A and B are shown apart, each in its own frame.
Chain A
Amino acid sequence: MIIANREFTSRLIIGTGKYRSYDEMRSAHAASGAEMVTVAVRRVPLDRSSESFLDHLDPSLQILPNTAGCYSAEDAIRTARLAREALQTDLVKLEVIGDQTTLFPDNEQTLEAARVLVKEGFVVLPYFNDDLIMAKKLLDAGCAAIMPLAAPIGSGLGVQNPANLRIMREQLPDATIIVDAGVGTASDAAVAMELGADAVLMNTAIAEAQDPAKMATAMKLAIQAGRLAYLAGRMPKRLYASASSPLTGVIK
């Protein structure tokens, strides 16, 4: 998978939130085989000395700053600019949230922010509702990849609208599609990949597992399995049985 001229062997991108400890996060990251992790931008606390969270990450990982927590194009743009200044990376996972209960993206504000950021030279990876028309608009705006949700963030419901992802894959064969948010367990990740996603981004499914490192391994394997199944091309579904053995020559 190539994003912004950089080749990634792993098709799993993971978050850095909700882990019980830094050790647990590090071992999950190592087990996942992921080469890119996403981090959030927040105000520095002024009342206490704070160590840099980034020091707890394997330095070989590509850091993908996100605009999580932003509810307007303007705030997301400001956050992206700050992230670029601090990290000297043009990569940004663009998120503009529209509603606190569902954390569904505000597609309109996302598109507006994407247009501005692309013009400023950012490599924009936008999180958005799994809608083909929106996907096309984001790609037309110059986004490097598109990140449709599988289900609400942190819900663990898995791919709720497989038809939308399949249509998106078929209609946008050249787009880099990264399913972002909503995966709960390994089979969910495999489904996303079988539907033709190029990669999956997840956080809670690994961080909230009883054993995050084990789940990270499961996700790595599921993504490999799903990708292979997609490339292999699955058999068509049939309503009735179709015998696998010859129907003739059965003893009487």
Chain B
Amino acid sequence: MQVYVNGESRELSGPISLAELITQLDLPAARIAVELNRTVVRRGDWSKTMLQDDDRIEIVHFVGGGSV
């Protein structure tokens, strides 16, 4: 199936959970947040959230910044 992670399309062999995707991407799980199709998915729900074809996933962290 195909999903979009931070705007980039990715081919995944499913079934795969959000938690597994984050592990596959080798992201540090601490102090990041994840949105699936414009809704935040709580950290505790990552492993039970199964991805579907065409899902839009945003994964964010924090960077230096004051304004804009």
Contact = CB atoms under 8 A, between A and B. Distances in A.
Interface string A171-196: 00000000011000000000000000
A18 B66 contact: yes
B61 to A, nearest CB: 5
Given A46-B25, A82-B35, A83-B33, A39 B63 contact: yes
Interface stretch (B11-19, B36-44, B47-55): B36-44
Interface string A68-100: 110000000011011101110000000101000
Contacts of B6: 43-44, 46
B67 A103 contact: yes
Interface in B16-33: 25-28, 30-33
B1 interface: no
A53 B26 contact: no
Given A41-B60, A44-B27, A86 B65 contact: no
Interface residues of B, number: 29
Nearest to A82: B33
A87 B8 contact: no
Contacts of A42: 60-63
B40 A81 contact: yes
A127 B34 CA distance: 25
Nearest to A52: B31
